Structure 1
């Protein structure tokens, strides 16, 4: 595949897809030290995976549980899949889903939802993509890799709900630093406190850096897919940020966008 050399492998642990190196050692899918080229990853005894980044100008569209009992695809899934003729497509590991990878402009898709309709997922950054075993092929039979699918994605992927202006206000008891960089440094250097206070299972650093090896154990994907349950991890990090900012909601939002959990983080 004509993708950047950001490949690695994955294996199943307790029904979850977990990123690993060629020797099966569980690893962080987003650490460049664990990446290799496609040929090397494909030669390993484990399935191939890919770390998608916004800087590559790519998207990953996952449609799950869309194969009917008779082996055919649902009409909606088939229509969406074929509408990306020229992009890469594959059947998922389960055999019940479809994956699409193609080119786009991520900067124009930052307001799109990551999960929608209960069976579709969309990502352009910070996503560990577990490949199926049947291989990727050009949808429609002919690869048109230079096609920009941004406009099509704007039609297919719904917009996130607008939460409006976040309420201002800080807990009067807050005595932490007002500078964001200083707060982040202090927060990541902490050994407990907020985590114990909120009963959280992962450290704030694990959450801030999206440490897949830890988050996969602490927040397993509810559907057995992907690296971890992103909604649970997001909520856990926001609980930490509430503690460290004195419940300053605009600042919590601003800081979350700087974390590795933000799917649109450059």
Structure 2
């Protein structure tokens, strides 16, 4: 017999014997969901612009020395950075080649739902990879665009958005938000509307 709850991965019904807070119908779905949610798009992983960072977001090389978001000699390949145990996590360096990140600060509620102002930006962005930030209550929208200088702006509804395209690194969690695709989309129209 089945209940009316659904598995978060396959969307099939949950077994009646599943615990009240279970999210997946079986271990296979739990493992598949974890792999999907912690995947960084190849458009980022194939670029050798990866670093590590401390808990306070100080950039580090894979060996643990101080890194720089403007010195390519301190960057590494994704596989090397992911294998390094230095610091608290991974970071990707934006160098002006067209990859941009829109950082939506404190936009998720305690249930992981985006605030209205953030939902408007997500809807406008369309199909592009979005990850949950390190804090767990923010989002990073990754895509393509031109943004010569970083900007921080306040949007309607009390939201704050940081826009970056060069001279900066972004802490990458790989925790995909919702069912966003594992690829980067065009974000120039969103950048233009925000600025």
Shared fold (TM-score, shorter chain, > 0.5): yes
Counterparts of 1:40 and 1:33, CA distance in 2: 14
Number of equivalent positions: 146
Q: Higher helix share goes to which structure?
A: 1
Q: Deviations over 1:139-158 (max 9, x none)?
A: 7443454x432123211x22
State the alpha-carbon separation in 1 of the partners of residues 75 and 52 from structure 2: 9
SS class of match (1:41): helix
Cα offset, 1:5, TM superposition: 1.1
Q: Could you tell me which residue of structure 1 aligns to residue 109 of structure 2? A: 68
Q: Which protein shows a greater Rg?
A: 1
**What is residue 116 of structure 1 aligned with on the other side?**
153
Q: Which runs of 5+ in 2 are unaligned?
A: 1-41
The question of whether the paired residues in 1 share the 8 Å contact of 2:128 and 2:186 is answered with: no
1:92-135 Cα deviation digits (max 9, x unpaired):
0010100011012x1xx45x870011621001111121113xx1
Q: Which has the higher strand share?
A: 2
The counterpart of 2:76, out of the listed 36, 57, 64, is: 36
Contact preservation (8 Å) 2:103, 2:163: yes
Residue 8 (structure 1) aligned with residue 51 (structure 2):
yes
Equivalences for residues 23-102 of structure 1 within 5 A:
23-45=63-85, 46=87, 47-54=89-96, 56-102=97-143
Q: Find the residue that maps to 1:29 and give its secondary structure.
A: coil
Q: TM-score, normalised by structure 2?
A: 0.66
Moved over 4 A (4+): none
CA distance change for structure 1 residues 53 and 39 in 2, over 3 Å: closer, same or farther? same
